[in-house]
A and B are shown apart, each in its own frame.
Chain A
Amino acid sequence: MALRKFRGPGLWIVLGPKWQAARARLREQHAGAGPRMVLLALLAVGFWSGVFGIVYRVLRYFRGVADIGDLLSAKLLGLALLAFSSILLLSNVITALSSFFLAKDLDLLAASPVHSIRFYLAKLVETTLHSSWMVALLAVPLFAAYGIVYGGGPLWPLVVVAAFIPFLVLPAVVGSALTLLLVNVVPARRAKELLSLIVIGAIGTLALLLRLAQPERLIRPEGFRSLADFVAMLQAPTNPLLPSEWAMRMLMNWLLRVADPWPVVALWGTAAVALVVGGILFRWLYRHAFSKAQEGAPPAGGGRRLAAVLGTLLRGLPAERREFILKDTRLFFRDATQWSQLILLGVLLVVYLFNIQALPLFSGDRVPTPVVTLVAFLNLGLAGFVLAAIAARFLFPSVSLEGRQMWLLRSSPLDLRSMLWSKYWIGTVPLLILALAITLITNAILRASPFITVVSAGTMVLFTLAASALALSFGAFYPRFDTENAAQIPTSFGGLVYMMTSVILLALVIMLEAPAVATRIQAEQAGTTVVWGVGLLGPLVAAVVLCIAATLLPLRLALARMERLEF
């Protein structure tokens, strides 16, 4: 063997098992295809059509607005890409921690003669794909709408890909570098514990990006001294140093036939430089950081006091169910990948409430009461989406997290029904409290009428019960027993299907309630009373039945599924 000349295996060799595994998974999914695949395809098409339809209509409207239409379209694209950037950054730091420091294949790769740069590139590709596929899928209808409305031509998909590749690579490089630096700085092992720090850092960045965008200024032209000021604001880049701005410029330049190479150079140049700097950082720091990440175990601790309080509260339950709930509570508060998400949740809620307060309803010209009522009603959609996302974070992974211990549960006298319902209530009770708090606070901020407040609170309670059941059940249908990081479970394929299903449910509930709410608003405006006939009550009852069915049916199916699962 020419030992001295050996430069290690190539990138494709290191990535080999990943694509072989992906191929095997695809084959398995094809083999078990049928109604499930059809349902998935329908869900995906429905979701894409919905996003496409909304963006298409908005863009058509913008195109019709003289002078500032194209600027508004560009701004909208910039905001969407900025939102994607922040999601990507957060997702990449979480994924990078797993793929660079926690993955099970790392020992094998670290012990083999893989060149550090190829190791880095292989793990970066893995991180990028895992953290970006969902954003990429979400972006398809958005870009399709832009291409169609602005006549992007047959080359438009290629232009999108050319803009999107560096746009995805940049947050992956930054996220990986951030993880690498943090693992080096923190003195002991606790790679998982680190996640909380990373998440807090990412949230700070997210909040900063949101504030930089100043989205409320877009819908408040009256706040500007003149139309010229408003146009100037639209023309000014949201932040000229952000890759989302360069990607937006590159795409809009193509659509508006503007020849300006700068955004392309900036985007690709920065991605290339970032890749080189990331590679150098990796070379300097990784071996030390990885070695450090193997050290010692974090001390046990968190959740004792809460478990003690819960233990007292649950005294009436049978011992096995009580201990099961306490076990889940302890595990949650001792696993930084789980509890750290509470911080994320807290910040997102603050941002949400802040944004509701920032709505220009009670400043400037008086906004008519029906509009305020309508906003309060449509707020249900946003609050419901937030709750569905929280259920995805906390309830969806709960069956997967039992994975390796399932032998213990299955061999114990605890029946699966008790286990499933225990898990359901552990996740649902805090969510219900949160749902009511969000609804009541936002309704108070929006000065909604008692009618709307009652309708909102009732809807949110029913929807939360259903969303929790859906999250838990989809988690049982798409378990990820092999994951190293709980934060990654909701970003799996099953998590996406769950989110699409709960968003469709939410849309259906709102549509069913809309006629009754609209009639009530019209009656209030006209000073008449509403006659509650079948036409109005029927859809309301249907919404209630739909929510109850969406609660009970998935749980029953999940139970049947878990009984069939072999561990």
Chain B
Amino acid sequence: MITLTSLTKRYGSFTAVNGVDLTIRKGELFGFLGPNGAGKTTTFRMIAGIILPTSGRIEIGGIDLGRQPLVAKRRLGYIPDRPFVYDKITGAEFLRFVAALYGAHDPSLERRIDELLDLFELVPWKNQLTESYSHGMRQKLIIASAFVHRPEVIVVDEPMVGLDPKGARLLKDLFRQYVNRGGTVLMSTHTLEVAEGMCDRIAIMQGGRILARGTMAELREQTASGASSLEDLFLRLTGGFRDHQLDSILGG
């Protein structure tokens, strides 16, 4: 459903994403892990069509994003890590706006908006300006907006930030049911338990390159480790902190 071919992004002499090749299949929940500055958000922003790759190709459902951006983008729902919502419009107005941006004008739109708001428990705030929303409520509204036009792929950067446990659980169930019905999710997260529990396959990225990819079993095989948890695997691949650093900070 998503194919990245030799995807590269350079900022001057700094290479943020370095020749990434990746295929994410239809009906798959794919997790992207990596330390801060690994290149995850840059990759996601290229897939969403916000920034252009320096070289390489992105295909969404077989459609080249560079050649047919409008058609490719229409298949995608993007949830950024820093949610932006216009302050002076209401939640319902925002969802109507996003639906219109993606050409979803069908007569059932109002019902769908109500369903999404109901799902994310935003109905009482439906007609309130979004400036009065909390961070978590804005995050929920953004997630709802990504689903409003019934996309085939969801690209989501750090979905759990700011959500309460109930919201986080709802999101997990939503993504799982969405992929069970044929949707595709590409998700980045720092919550390793979430990735381990939810994702069909995982890629671990560092320094703009993919270090390892596959199911949990395949990852264990690739790293030739007996690590039982994803956290151990992750730290083994990306390197961790040292005890003396903690001692120095804490004055121990």
Contacts and interface: CB of A to CB of B under 8 A. Distances in A.
A427 to B, nearest CB: 28
Nearest to B76: A111
Contacts of B45: 107, 294
A296 B14 contact: yes
B93 A17 contact: yes
Max chain B Cβ within 10 angstroms of own Cβ: one of A6, A187, A188:
A6
B74 interface: yes
Nearest to B80: A107
B84 A17 contact: no
Contact of B89 (A4, A13, A21): A21
A8 B49 CA distance: 15
Given A16-B100, A111-B50, A113-B69, A189 B88 contact: no
Interface string B28-45: 000000000000000001
A340 B78 CA distance: 36
B71 A24 contact: no
Contacts of B88: 20-22, 24-25
26 contacts: A1-B74, A1-B103, A6-B103, A9-B102, A9-B103, A16-B100, A17-B93, A20-B89, A20-B97, A22-B88, A107-B48, A108-B84, A110-B48, A111-B48, A112-B73, A112-B102, A113-B74, A114-B101, A188-B11, A189-B11, A288-B52, A295-B11, A295-B12, A296-B12, A296-B14, A482-B87
A138 interface: no
Interface range, B side: 20 to 34
A112 B73 CA distance: 6
A110 B72 CA distance: 12
A24 B89 contact: yes
A107 B103 contact: no
A105 B130 CA distance: 14
B38 to A, nearest CB: 16
B94 interface: yes
A355 interface: no
A16 B97 contact: yes
A63 interface: no
A115 interface: yes
Interface residues of A, number: 38
A9 B100 contact: yes
A13 B97 contact: yes
Nearest to B51: A291
Contact of B70 (A21, A113, A188): A113
Interface string B14-35: 1000000000000000000000
Given A13-B97, A24-B88, 16 more contacts: A3-B71, A4-B71, A6-B70, A9-B103, A17-B86, A17-B89, A20-B93, A21-B88, A104-B84, A107-B48, A107-B80, A109-B101, A113-B73, A113-B103, A294-B50, A295-B12
Nearest to A22: B88
A113 B71 contact: yes
Contact of A188 (B12, B73, B98): B12
B160 to A, nearest CB: 20
